[in-house]
Amino acid sequence: MASEVVMPKLGATMEEGTIVSWLVQVGEEVEEGDPIAEIQTDKIVMELEAEADGVLLKTLHDAGATVKVHEVVAYLGEEGESVEGLGNDLSNLAEAAEDETEQPMAETPAQNGQQTRTGEKIRRTPAARKLAEDNHVDLSEVTGSGPLGRIHKADVESFMEANEKRVTPLAKKIANDQGIDYKEIDGTGMRGKVVKNDVIGRPVAQQEVAREAKRVPFKGMRKVIADRISESAYTAPHVTLTSEIDMTECVTLRGKLLPVIEKVEGMRVSYNDILLKATAFALKQNPALNVSLEGDEIVYHPEVHIGMAVAVPEGLVVPVLRNVDEKGLATITRETKTIGQKARDGKLTMDDMQGSTFSVSNLGMYAVDGFTPIINSPNSAILGVGRIQKKSVVVNDELAIRSMMTLSLSFDHRIIDGAPAAAFLTELKEVLENPFKLMI
Amino acid sequence: MKEITYLEAIRESMSEEMRKDEDVFIMGEDIGIYGGAFGLTNGMIEEFGPERVRNTPISEAAISGCAVGAAMTGMRPILEIQFSDFIMIAMDNIVNQAAKSRYMFGGKAQVPVVIRLPGGSGAGFAAQHSQSLEAWMAHVPGLKVVQPSNAYDAKGLMKAAIRDNNPVLFYEHKLLYNTKGEVPEEEYEIPLGQADIKKEGSDITIVATAVMVNRALEAAAELEKEGISVEVIDPRTLVPLDTETILASVKKTSRVLVVYEAVKRGGYGAEIASMIAESDVFDYLDAPIRRLGGLETPIPYNPVLEKAAVPQVEDIVEECKKLMNK
C-alpha cells in the first residue's frame, strides 16, 4: 500500500514550500530517514525525509513547484506497485493551476515524471555521451527513455532531430552560398521554418556573435525576498530619519573591551555588537518603536528581539537575536558571531529567523554613510548603519577630529509617529556617545 | 557438400589426419571396439588397428600423463576424456606439464596433444557428468581452448587442433553430437582464433559459445519477428580469442549480450564482457554489457530443473528485449 509524502509544516507560520530538487528518482529505494527532496520555505532550505522504507513510486510535482503544507507531493511504496490512480486528480489540478500562473519549466515533458538528473550527474550510456559530445548536445536537456531515466543513443538522436533547424532547401542553398548561418535565423515559416525571405537581405557572413545574457529563474529565496520586500515597501509608508553620531567614545570603549571579551568568549567584539546593545537599550526606553501591526491590533512587544540582516551568497537572511536588552556584550558577541556563521553556512532553522521585533541592517563595512532601509515586516522599524569615519567636527566651539557615523531609521508611519521615532533615535545617539549609560 | 553430424565430423577429421600422418593416434577409455561412450570412434579400430586406437585403463591421471609424454617425445596424440568433468583428475599433467613445458624449455619441447572433452548439460547425466569448466582451462597460459558449435566448425577446428604444436583442449557439446550440418567434400582447416559471424544483425550482438550459439540463433529468429535485429557471433576458440570480430560487431550494434552455459559467476563470458568494456568500443555501448550464464548450482538430474539451470532460448529472447528497453 503506497504511503503519502506530504509537504511538511516546518514552522508555525509556514503555509507553503517550494520543492528545490528531488534527491531521489522515481523507482529508487529509500530507507526511513533518507532525504527525498530539498524543500525551500520562508528563507531556508531543508531536507524532506522519508518516514518509511520503500520505493519512490511517484512524484506529483517537478522541482520548482510551490506546494501548500500538508499537501501530497509523492508516494512511497513497494517496488513494482501500481501507481495508477495515485494522486492523479491532484497533480492534474496542480498542473492546470501552474499553467495559468507560471510558464512550465521544461519544454519536453519528462516521461512518467522521471527525472534524468540526480544533481549534476546524468545517467547516460557511453554511446549517448559520445554522440552528444560530437554534436554539442547538452545532455541535461535530453529526456532519457531507459531505466531510471537513462539516456540512450536514440534519445540523443531524437532530441537532435527535434531541435534541428527547419529550413527550406532554397533558403538553405542561399544561406550556404552567401555564408549565412541559417541556424541563427528565426524562421517565419511553419513551426519556425527558415524560408527564402528570412535569408534574403541578411547581412552576408555576419561574424559578430551576440553575447547571451545569463538568465536565472526568479524563484526560491530570491522570490521570497522579493515578495516580502515589496509587501513591506508598498503597504507600510516609510519615513527615514538620519542622525550623525559621534562614535569616538565607542571606539575607545571597544578598544578596551576587545581583550576582555576575547578572553571570555575567544571572540572579538565588534561595533555592531555594541550597536545592538545600545539599540536594545534605546528600544526598552522607547517601547513605541518595538511594535507590530497584526490585523487590526498594534502589538507592543515586551521582549526585544533584534533581527540582524546577514548577506549570504543566495541573497539575504535575517536571523534573530533574542532578549538583547537582557544580555551582556560578551554574550551578544558570541551570539552574533555564531548565528552569522550559521547563516552563511545555510544552516539556519525556521526558529532562528522568526520572532524579531526590530531589525538592524549594517552596511558599515562598505563606503556607505546613510541609506533608506526597508522595514523587515512584521517589524515596524529598522535601523540602517553606515560606516564610521573620522571627520572634523565642532566640539565646544573648536574644531576636532572625531569618529562619526550616520544612523538611518526607517519606520512605518501608520503606527509610529515622527516624534517617538525621533525620540528613539535621539536616545540611541545619546547612549552611543555616552556608552557608560549602557551600564544602567 | 555433404550433410553429416557433429560427431561424424570429428571422427572424419581425426581419421583423415591419421591417414596422412602416422604420428597421430587416439587413446581413451572404451574407444576401441565399443566405439567410445558416445560412439564417436565407431569403426576406427577396424581401420587403424589397436596400436593407433588405444583402449586405456580408467585412470585419467595415467592416460593424460601418457598422452602428454607421448606428445613430448614426438607423437601427436588425441586423448579422449570420456566426460569433460573427469579432467580434474588429469589437471596436473595438463596444467603443470603440458601447458608449461614449451615455455620452460625455451621452445625446445613441444606438446602437440589434443584433449577431447565432451561437456555440457542437457543429456540427463547429472551433476558430475554435465559441467562446463572451460574457463578453468582458458585461465592457464599455454593451453588453447576450442568450443565448436556445429559440424563444419568441429571438423575444421579439429584439423587445426591436431596440427597445432601446443596442447589444445577440444570441448565438444554432448547435445550437439547428433546435430547435422553441411561439410565440404574437400579438405579444409579453420585456424584457431577466428570467430565466426553466424548471423548478421544491427541491434544487438550476442556472443555465444557451444550449444548457446544454436539457442542464440533460434532466439534471433524469434526476435526478428518483433523487429529486433540480432547479430550472433561464435568465437569458436576461447584461447586464442578473436577480439577484433567481436569488437567490430559491438561497435556496429552498440549492445552486447554474452551467453554461455557455464556458471555465470567466473565463467569465460565474464572475460569477454570485460574485454569489451576495456576496449575502445566502450564509447559505442548504448546499454550495459549483459551476461546470461548458468545458475550457481550443480546441474540437477531432474530434467526440468536441468533445463532451468542453464540459459534457454526464451531466456535469451527476454534478455535481448531488456537490452532494447522493451
Q: What is the pLDDT of residue B79?
A: 98
Gap between the Cα atoms of A298 and A379, Å rounded: 11
Among A377-381, B32-36, B159-163, B305-309, name the one with the lowest average pLDDT: A377-381
Give yes or no for a contact between B256 and A126, defined as CB atoms under 8 angstroms apart.
Answer: no
Burial class (CB in 10 A: 0-12, 13-18, 19+), A91: middle
Q: Calculate how close chain B gets to A82, using CA atoms only, in Å.
A: 19
Where are any strands of DSSP class E within A204-353?
238-246, 291-294, 297-300, 306-308, 310-312, 315-317, 320-321
Give yes or no for a contact between B145 and B171, defined as CB atoms under 8 angstroms apart.
Answer: yes
Q: What is the pLDDT of residue A113?
A: 39
Domains B2-183 and B196-323 share a fold: yes
pLDDT per residue as tens digits for the range B122-142? 999 999 999 999 999 999 999
**Does A188 or A109 have the greater pLDDT score?**
A188
Q: Would an 8 Å CB–CB cutoff place B227 in contact with chain A? A: no
For residue A205, pLDDT beyond 60: no
pLDDT per residue as tens digits for the range A281-308? 999 999 999 999 988 899 999 999 999 9
Q: What is the pLDDT of residue A219?
A: 79
Q: What is the pLDDT of residue A15?
A: 81
Q: What is the pLDDT of residue A191?
A: 63
First to last CA, chain B: 41
Give yes or no for a contact between B236 and B196, defined as CB atoms under 8 angstroms apart.
Answer: yes
Gap between the Cα atoms of A189 and A196, Å rounded: 9
Task: Tally C-beta pairs within 8 A across A and B.
Answer: 29
Q: What is the pLDDT of residue A116?
A: 44
Give yes or no for a contact between B4 and B180, defined as CB atoms under 8 angstroms apart.
Answer: yes
For residue A165, pLDDT beyond 80: no
Q: Would an 8 Å CB–CB cutoff place B282 in contact with chain A? A: yes
Give yes or no for a contact between B196 and B144, defined as CB atoms under 8 angstroms apart.
Answer: no
Q: What is the pLDDT of residue A198?
A: 80
Cell of residue B312, nine digits = 534457454
Average pLDDT over residues A191-198: 75
Q: Would an 8 Å CB–CB cutoff place A139 in contact with chain B? A: no
Average predicted confidence (pLDDT) for chain A: 83
Cα B266 to chain centroid distance, Å, stands at 17
For residue A107, pLDDT beyond 80: no
Give yes or no for a contact between B210 and B238, defined as CB atoms under 8 angstroms apart.
Answer: no
Phi, psi of B167 (to 5 degrees): -65, 130
Gap between the Cα atoms of A16 and A113, Å rounded: 22
Cell of residue B283, nine digits = 564509447
Cell of residue B14, nine digits = 581425426
DSSP for B263-285 reads ESTT-HHHHHHHHHHHSGGGGG-
Check if A413 is active-site. yes
Q: Calculate how close chain A gets to B318, using CA atoms only, in Å.
A: 16
Among A165-179, A329-343, B20-34, B169-183, name the one with the lowest average pLDDT: A165-179
Cα A366 to chain centroid distance, Å, stands at 22
Q: Would an 8 Å CB–CB cutoff place B286 in contact with chain A? A: yes
For residue A24, pLDDT beyond 60: yes
List CB contacts (< 8 A) between A123 and chain B.
none
Gap between the Cα atoms of A14 and A351, Å rounded: 11
Residue contact A147–B286, C-beta within 8 A:
no
Residue contact B283–A128, C-beta within 8 A:
no
Q: What is the pLDDT of residue B32?
A: 96
Q: What is the pLDDT of residue B19?
A: 98
Cell of residue A222, nine digits = 530570491
The set of residues, in sequence order, having a beta carbon less than 8 Å from that of B111 and lying 6+ positions away, is: B68, B71, B72, B97, B98, B101, B102, B165, B166, B167
Average pLDDT over residues A77-98: 58
Q: What is the pLDDT of residue A91?
A: 43
Kindly report the CATH class assigned to B196-323.
alpha beta
Average pLDDT over residues B170-198: 97
Q: Which of A254, A312, A306, A294 minimizes the C-alpha distance to A412?
A: A294
CB proximity under 8 Å: A 200-259 to B: none
DSSP for B93-107 reads IIIIIIHHHHHHTTT
Polymer length in residues for chain B: 326
**If pLDDT is split at 50, 70 and 90, which confidence band does A95 have?**
very low
Q: Does domain B2-183 have CATH number 3.40.50.970?
A: yes
Q: What is the pLDDT of residue A19?
A: 87
In order of their start, the domains of chain A are: 3-105 (2.40.50.100), 121-199 (4.10.320.10), 237-439 (3.30.559.10)
Q: Enumerate the domain spans of chain B.
A: 2-183, 196-323
Buried b (16+ CB within 10 A) or exposed e, A259-276: eebeeebebebbbbbbbb
Check if A305 is active-site. no
Percent of chain A with pLDDT over 70: 88
Q: What is the pLDDT of residue A26?
A: 84
Gap between the Cα atoms of B158 and B48, Å rounded: 18
DSSP, collapsed to helix, strand or coil, labels residue B150 as coil
For residue A106, pLDDT beyond 50: no
Average pLDDT over residues A242-254: 93
For residue B299, pLDDT beyond 50: yes
Cell of residue B130, nine digits = 554435465
Q: What is the pLDDT of residue A62?
A: 85
pLDDT per residue as tens digits for the range B40-88? 999 999 999 999 999 999 999 999 999 999 999 999 999 999 999 999 9
For residue A182, pLDDT beyond 80: no
Residue contact B284–A127, C-beta within 8 A:
yes
Residue contact A126–B287, C-beta within 8 A:
no
Give yes or no for a contact between A431 and A278, defined as CB atoms under 8 angstroms apart.
Answer: yes
Q: What is the pLDDT of residue A203?
A: 66
Residue contact B283–A130, C-beta within 8 A:
yes
Q: What is the pLDDT of residue A294?
A: 87
Catalytic choice (B129, B134, B231, B261)? B129
For residue B57, cis peptide bond before it (omega within 30 degrees of 0)? no
Q: What is the pLDDT of residue A114?
A: 42
Catalytic choice (B12, B29, B60, B306)? B60
Q: What is the pLDDT of residue A9?
A: 80
Q: What is the pLDDT of residue A145?
A: 87
**Does B11 or A25 have the greater pLDDT score?**
B11
pLDDT per residue as tens digits for the range A268-280? 999 999 999 999 9
**If pLDDT is split at 50, 70 and 90, which confidence band does A101 have?**
very low
Q: What is the pLDDT of residue A188?
A: 77
Percent of chain A with pLDDT over 90: 38
Q: What is the pLDDT of residue B321?
A: 95
Q: What is the pLDDT of residue A115?
A: 44
